[in-house]
Every structure is written in structure tokens, then in C-alpha cells.
Amino acid sequence: MSNVRHFLDVDRLDSQTLRRILDRAVAIKAAFKKDRNAHADLLAGQTLALIFEKPSTRTRVSFEVGMRQLGGNVVVLKPDDMQLGRGETIGDTARVLSRFVDAVMVRTTGEERVHELAAHASIPIINGLTDQTHPCQIMADVMTFEEHRGPINGRVVAWTGDCNNVAVSWAHAAVRFDFEFRLACPARYGVPQALLDWAKAEGTGRLVVTDRPEEAVRGAECVITDAWASMHNTDVDERAAILTPYQVNEALMDRAHPDALFMHCLPAHRGEEVTDGVIDGRHSVVWDEAENRLHAQKAILAWCMGAKA
């Protein structure tokens, strides 16, 4: 159905819609801090299905707790619990769930699985993570930046590591929220040309690509990294060898803006992509970032499900 509000990827929504969701996330968080029951009936009577084809800590807890704090119900489904894991098509699963629940969040492998669910569902589908993108995380990240430093428009954000799903969603955000995003990635795990072409065609934001972390972080107002191996990667040792020069340590942070923020979507592998001194240091906002998954996703749920303020 064309009027269904899916949250599939940051690049699939316009800037105004994304800004409205973020503004609502800020309002939801502020109200929650004053009164934990401030929005306790916003999604009363609604049910969210959570499909996990990949393990999860933050996504599972933040969506389940968030939905319950809005007064809704949650059903958690894993591959062994579903006929989807026994040969039922994605389309048929989407049609059936559309008769039972009011929205679905899915954390899976290829993004095509999320898009196929959306194509056959008559209820909102939310991308909780794929191998290609992680849009809910980036909404929380932009919220965190603005919480600490004000509007992200026109700012400089730096990434160091491989161009993984989080980096791709940050690139989408750079275009939609109009800021400069510098990616320091080794050639082996570099930025896809299709992503650069899309950003250029959109005409807003700016992607800068280098293979030198020192160049990327120079003067940056936020420095971000992620684990060197994602759940679907099998070349763990090779990746570690190639990505070691991309570690975020104190020396690298010293090249950023003096008040730069450090972000990491977690879980972190301390001593690999980031040192203890950085993740526990004065630049780090990783715990605020993790908390904001809860509030950003409550706003996403409210938008998808058409909840009024």
C-alpha cells in the first residue's frame, strides 16, 4: 500500500521527514526525563513484531522497551520460531504478519529482504539493521551530535575504518542533513562508487574519501569508528591486519577539533578499533548515543504508526 510509512533507509526519506522524526525524538526524550509515563498511551493497543535473523543487544532492548514505554505490545520472533526459516516466502510472511500486528522491525542480512517485506506488507516495516545499512543507529547518532553540539548542518564528521553498513548510513545522513562526511578507508574496504555517485546526484552534503585517518579527522567535530569485523565477515584476521592503522587512539583524536565528539555504535572491541583512553575519555559520548537509540526509535515508531502527539 502506497500510504504505508516504512522506515527502510535514510536515503529513502526526504530531509524534512527525517528532521520531523528527530525533533519528535528530542521532545519524547525531554518528556520522558520529566515523567516516565509521559507517552505511556501513545501506541496503546498496537503490537510490534521484532524479527531477529541476527543477534542483538541494543536493537532488541531499545525497540522492546521503547514500544512498551509507548503503551504498545511486542512479539519477538527468531528464525527457529518462524515458518520463514522453513521455506515460507518473505512475501507470504509479510502478508500474514500484516493481519496480526501493526508494524514489523526486522534485523537481517541483505537489505533486499527488508525491501521485499515492505513490498508485500500492508503495515510499516522498519529496518533494524542489514549488512548494507543501519538507519536507526544513525538517527540516534545525529540526535546525539545535536544534543551536544547543536545543528549538524554544515559540520564536519569523520569516519575511520572499513566502509561498513554504519558508514553507509552516515553517508546517507550527510546528504540528507547537509554536512561534510570524511571517510578514511583502506582500498580493500573502500567506499562503493555507487554511494559516491548517489551523493553527487543528490547535490547536498559532501563526501570526502581518503585512505589516511589523519587527513579525515583533522579539525573534525566528530570522529566515528566501528568494529573491524561485522557479523557476516569471515576474513577477521585479514581485516584486523589491514585496519590496524585506522584505530582511533589518543594521538588520532588530538588531530580532531579540541572539542570533538567520539562515537561508536557498540559493541566495541577495546584495544582494536578504539583504545580505552578514547572510549572512556572526555570526547566519548557512546553511552548517550546508546541511550538515544531508545528515544530515536520511539519517534520512528510513532511516525511509522501515525501516532498523534
What is the set of active-site residues? 107, 134, 137, 226, 265, 293
Query: Cα separation of 54 and 57, whole Å?
Result: 10
Distance of CA 195 to the CA centre of its chain: 17
**Number of C-beta neighbours around residue 216 at 10 A:** 26
Q: Are 230 and 43 in contact (CB under 8 A)?
A: no
- 149 sits in which H/E element: helix 135-149
Reading the block at residue 181, the C-alpha cell is 562526511
Peptide bond into 79 cis (omega under 30): no
Contact 163, 141 (CB under 8 A): no
Residue carrying C-alpha cell 525524538 = 25
Beta pairing, strands 261-264 & 47-52: unpaired
Residue 274 β-bridge partners = 248, 270
Strand-pairing partners, residue 262, are: 223, 284
Instruction: Please tell me whether residue 201 adopts helix, strand or coil conformation.
Output: helix
Q: How far is CA 135 from CA 84, 112, 119, 238, 303, in A?
A: 24, 15, 19, 27, 15
CA distance 281 to 71: 37
CA atoms within 13 A on the CB side of 163: 24
CA–CA dist 9, 2 (Å, integer): 16
| Grid cell locating 153 | 548542518
**Residue 162: all three cell numbers together:** 572499513
